[in-house]
Amino acid sequence: MSLNAALRLTAGSFILISLILGYFLTPYWYYLTGFVGLNLLQSGFTRWCPAISLFRRLGLKEETCGGRPSVQQGVHLIAGLLVLTTVAPVLFMQASQNWLLLTAVIGASLGQSAFSGWCPAMTFARLLGCKPAQ
Residue 117, H or E segment:
none
**Per-residue pLDDT for 132 more than 90?**
no
Cα–Cα distances (Å) from 93 to 14, 16, 85, 120, in that order, read 23, 21, 12, 28
pLDDT digit string (tens) for 31-69?
999 999 999 999 888 888 888 888 889 888 876 655 567
**Per-residue pLDDT for 117 more than 60?**
yes
**Per-residue pLDDT for 134 more than 90?**
no
Cα–Cα distances (Å) from 87 to 22, 96, 98, 118, 120, in that order, read 11, 10, 10, 24, 19
What's at 66, amino acid-wise? G
Question: How far, in Å, CA of 105 to CA of 111, rounded?
Answer: 10
Question: How far, in Å, CA of 25 to CA of 49, rounded?
Answer: 27
